[in-house]
Amino acid sequence: MKKTILIALSAVLLVQCNAVKNSNNTQRGAVIGAAGGAVIGGILGNNLGKGGKGATGAILGGVIGGVAGGLIGRKMDKQAREIQEQLPGAQVERVGEGIKLTLNENAIRFNLNESSLTSTAKANLDKLVPVFKDYNDTNIIIYGHTDSSGNDDYNMTLSVKRAESVKNYLIAKGLSGSRFEIVGMGETEPIDTNETKESMANNRRVEFAIIANENMVQQAQQEAQN
């Protein structure tokens, strides 16, 4: 894949050559970064998203790149730190220009074969609400995951219902429903073996892909031009 990225990026830079010649340093960074970032983001997104559009693939597939991408990244850095402070047990990863947030079974706990949120799950989601409200120029894709117990169709349906429960709870807490998308992954993207109770518990999780919405992208692009 490295060779593919290098070839694609070289081609893009050649095409952008004339635009770069008559520009200042900031504009050069925007031209090269936007073009290269889009190509690399698309390649990485396609590869990481094969077999299902998981959180990482969704984030990398929407890379803006350039100066604007850097501005978005700084905002995401700040938001990621605040999420980690509010919910220390969560797995918070800065990926590209977005955030991948993984809440395992200890954070978002469901009763066996149920999709309704427990009191533990609600308490942890409550800690995220203020951060999501402060950064209202982001969209959030919620991914539900299950272990391998049960058949494929059942697990897929259950994962959708669990992601839906998380979304509905956050909306009830005052977040705009237009910010959310839900995706059921069923058992298709395990992060552990499913061979022990502990490994199956690791696979029962909810993931968030937090990405810039159109307003954040436009603001970053305008700032990059100044």
3-state secondary structure of 205: strand
Strands of the sheet with 205-212, listed across from one edge: 91-95, 98-103, 205-212, 138-145, 180-186
Supply the DSSP symbol for 190: -
Query: How does DSSP assign 41-100, residue by residue?
Result: HHHHHHHHTTTS--HHHHHHTT---HHHHHHHHHHHHHHHHHHHHH-TTSEEEEETTEEE
Give pLDDT, residue 53: 63
Give pLDDT, residue 62: 82
- The CATH class of the 66-225 domain is alpha beta
- Residues in the chain, pLDDT under 70: 1-53
11 Cβ neighbours under 8 A, 6+ residues apart: none
| Segment 161-186, tens digit of pLDDT | 999 999 999 999 999 999 999 999 99
Give pLDDT, residue 32: 39
Q: Smallest Cα–Cα separation from 71: which of 206, 208, 218, 199?
A: 218
- Alpha-carbon distance of 183 to 143, in angstroms, equals 5
- Alpha-carbon distance of 205 to 109, in angstroms, equals 8
Task: Kindly report the backbone phi and psi dihedral angles of residue 143, in degrees, each rounded to the nearest multiple of 5, phi listed first.
Answer: -110, 125
